[in-house]
Amino acid sequence: MSDRVSITIDNGIADVRLTRADKRNALDSEMFRAIAAAGERLKTQAGVRCVVLSGEGKSFCAGLDMGSMNQLAGAPPANGEEQTNAGDINDGSITHLAQQICWVWQELPMPVISAVHGHALGGGIQLALGTDIRFVHPETKMSVRETYWGLVPDMTGTFMLGKLLRPDIAKELTFTARVFSGAEAHEMGLVTHLTETPYDDAMALAAEIAGISPSAVRASKQLINNMAVDGAAEQFAEERRLIKTQIGTPNQIESVMASFENRSPEFVDA
């Protein structure tokens, strides 16, 4: 495995951890590839009945890393690296790489539980929303952060927010990009369980699920997802289309530059 993600399998539970703790598990190109690869591996991994996804260190995932943010402001990629969310979609896929790191957990036949603490911002919150069940620390800082950077949520977030929240609440969170707590997220319905010990509680639930007939559990996930994922492909295509209309525009670049320069942005009306 990559040094960005580790997988340990024991007693039917795959313990998947983001291991870029020094960067609060922020998403760079290698992290994107490693998360997607971990999910793909687990699709056919023998003996796995439940998955727990967590982040090592102080945060679950702080979103896109600053190197990628520099690219969004017009700076060239470091060391010739391509932009993280660029690239063609593989044949037969409904997602590009940035979307797939969130959606792959829905494609897994077994349940996936996330344990969230510290930060879950932008891509981080979308990664958590891609799991089946979420345990979140009440003081976790969460945000649908993309509009702050002049972008739109493009990692399956609009689809999942639309499934979990009333439209007005989803709109407010997205329009303002404000940071809110895990406790508030629980009140909204984004969080399954609020707990001071998200990882321990996620592992305990995983153990409980691992003690149930795995074929029945997998069939149940399939049945529920048959209803829950209706319209996903079309929405993901719209995410990809609309973010391309934002990247590199004057307002998008101004969003990033104003943040880096610690000043109020000066936007051009649409």
pLDDT computed for residue 168 by the predictor: 98
Return averaged pLDDT per consecutive 10 residues of the chain, 270 residues in all. 91 98 96 96 97 98 82 52 51 90 97 98 98 98 97 96 97 98 98 98 98 98 93 95 95 95 94
Residues 6+ apart with CB under 8 A from 1: 7, 34, 37, 38
Length of the chain: 270
**Domains of the chain, residue spans:** 5-199+208-260
pLDDT computed for residue 70 by the predictor: 59
C-alpha–C-alpha distance, residues 117 and 136, integer Å: 6
CATH no. for 5-199+208-260: 3.90.226.10
CB 192 within 8 A of CB 134: yes
Beta-strand runs (E) in 60-218: 112-116, 119-121, 133-136, 141-143, 180-181, 193-194
Output b/e per residue, 176-198; b: 16+ Cβ within 10 A. Answer: ebeebbbebbbebebbbebbeeb
Strand 141-143 and strand 180-181: the pairing is: antiparallel
**CA 247 to each of CA 183, 243, 256: distance values in angstroms, whole numbers, following the listed order:** 33, 6, 11
Q: What token pair was written down for 199?
A: 């990882």
Residues 6+ apart with CB under 8 A from 27: 61, 63, 64, 65, 68, 84, 101, 123, 124
pLDDT computed for residue 77 by the predictor: 52
C-alpha–C-alpha distance, residues 126 and 239, integer Å: 13
